[in-house]
Amino acid sequence: MFVINCPFCGERDQSEFSSGGEAHIIRPKQPTELSDDQWAEYLFMRKNIKGVQFERWNHAHGCRKWFNMIRDTSNDKIHAIYKMGEKPPIV
Amino acid sequence: MKNKYSVFSLIKNAFSHHENWQRAWGDPEPKKEYDAIIVGGGGHGLATAYYLAKKHKITNIAVLEKGWIGGGNTGRNTTIIRSNYLWDASAGLYDHALKIWEGLSQELNYNVMFSQRGVMNLAHNLQDVRDLKRRTHANRLNGIDAVWLNTNEVKKFCPIINTSQDIRYPVLGGTLQKRAGTARHDAVAWGYARGADALGVDIIQNCEVKGIKRNGKEVIGVETSKGFIKTKKIGVVAAGHSSVIANMAGLKLPLESKPLQALVSEPVKPVIDTVVMSNAVHAYVSQSDKGELVIGAGTDSYVSYTQKGSHNVVEETLRAILELYPIFSRMKMLRQWGGIVDICPDASPIISKTQIKGLYFNCGWGTGGFKATPGSGDLFAHTIANDEPHKLNAAFNINRFVSGDLVDEHGAAAVAH
């Protein structure tokens, strides 16, 4: 349990947010040309890092906007939050 | 050679104030090389080592555990055992485990306190009723005992349930598997550890795996906190930390690790003599032999390795428990904890070879691995020994995420995730 500083609304409890999983997984540009292995990689395979991980979050019970977060999954400490489309800050 | 546990050994040891019991398993230093190494000394890992030694006669094995055996999810789950899963592949897998549970205490000469007190799954809306009835029929076609109970029969089987139709999520019925039940989770780890140790397996605690050494496409050993150990076969049974080990070998798995919580109450006199689970309102409860209510909550919705879990998840579960069991309204909760569960997209496990020769994974059990412990160990041992899956775990290979042949058990997994 932790507090998230939503870039649009400010600090709110984590229970207002929903996690969208690993960030920066890019939707294939040519889906028809993908092999089964590439589909599996895109759809299912995850880094699932113990440590600093890039994630997408949604303020589901607030402004309902998406944003990115850099969080340490071993202690739930948030290192940075940045908007969709922005370059991730170096932490 | 292990001394046999019996009523006579109990009496004999009582005369010496129980100070001369034989050590149940050793504390060896790792050898330079093993025929196989099991990473993870939980129930599944120890069972794998036990069956490798017993059924496949591979006894030069080490089980490497970074903490103490049974200190991870084996000691953190809510001990529920059942096999009422929907699909044929799952029914085969989980009922194989249930059949081993039925004779496990005798086989291991260790009382795992397996108690077939029945597991009831409640329905709270029409879709629940349809899904659970369908699952009952599917179970019976697969030879698994399952019956549908209407609301009155639910009340009769477990009288403390509030079956009033005026509550927010009224009980519309439920399924019952009578062969299902609970077992003492620590005893499962200890029993398998003792059994494996007696067959010559080295159980090495406080030994963390730091790296997987490869020679091109095959494994040659593991780097550990106690030095390098050579081996040609590595079976990884690391639950929530499976992805961490996979990353060491340069593999990616279709897993996400999340905290799953449980809590126990103060001990009270016997009040609930079965296990009741409810998917829709997310509450399940049973009573331990000590008298504590054992309550399972849900998973957090984000990846975390913290073994804690959020308060709002516990609050939601207790809210549902109180509506279903008003009798518990003044109970005090004594302890709460979290375990890290590795969840597959289809809520089914992976017991599989990988593209790296000699590297095997048994993971993805998510929120329901304890029930499968003996079957999982047996089938994983078969897979490692023969370098081929047993027919019961063939469907649970890692390639199903490429072929699309998933085993979707979200409905039967009982914990929403």
Of the partner residues A14, A39, A45, the one whose CB lies closest to the CB of residue B253: A45
Q: Is B417's pLDDT higher than 60?
A: no
Helix (H/G/I), strand (E/B), else coil: B263: strand
pTM of the predicted model as reported, rounded to 2 decimal places: 0.96
Per-residue model confidence (pLDDT) at position B407? 96
pLDDT at B2: 82
Asked if residue B25 lies in contact with residue B194, where contact means CB atoms within 8 angstroms, the answer is yes
Answer yes or no: do A45 and B401 touch at CB < 8 A.
yes
Contacts of B256 in chain A (CB under 8 A): 21, 46, 48
Option in A36, A39, A48 nearest B243 (CB): A48
Q: Which CATH superfamily is domain A3-25+39-83 in?
A: Folate-binding superfamily (3.30.2270.10)
pLDDT digits (tens, 9 = 90+) for B238-275: 999 999 999 999 999 999 999 999 999 999 999 999 99
Q: What percent of chain B has pLDDT over 90?
A: 95
Alpha-carbon gap: A40 to the closest alpha carbon of chain B (Å): 5
Of the pLDDT bands very low, low, confident and very high (cuts 50, 70, 90), residue B415 is low
Q: Does A14 touch chain B (CB under 8 A)?
A: yes
Distance CA B88, CA A53 (A): 37
Hey, which bits of B138-274 come out as E strands? 147-149, 173-177, 181-182, 202-204, 209-215, 218-224, 227-231, 234-236, 256-265
> Chain B contact for A27, CB < 8 A?
no
Contacts of A53 in chain B (CB under 8 A): 303
| Both structure tokens of B141 | 């076609």
Q: Does A15 touch chain B (CB under 8 A)?
A: yes
Q: Which one of A41, A48, A81 makes the best mutation probe of the B interface by having the most chain B beta carbons within 10 Å? A: A48
The residues facing B337 across adjacent strands are B262
Q: In this structure, is the dihedral angle defined by the CA atoms of residues B65, B66, B68 and B74, taken in order, positive or negative?
A: negative
For residues B226 and B206, what is the distance between their CA atoms, to the nearest angstrom? 9
B313 confidence band (pLDDT: 50, 70, 90)? very high
Give yes or no for B304 touching A (CB within 8 A): yes
Write the ipTM: 0.95
Domain ranges of chain A: 3-25+39-83
B210 in A contact zone (CB under 8 Å): no
List pLDDT tens digits, range B95-142. 999 999 999 999 999 999 999 999 999 999 999 999 999 999 999 999
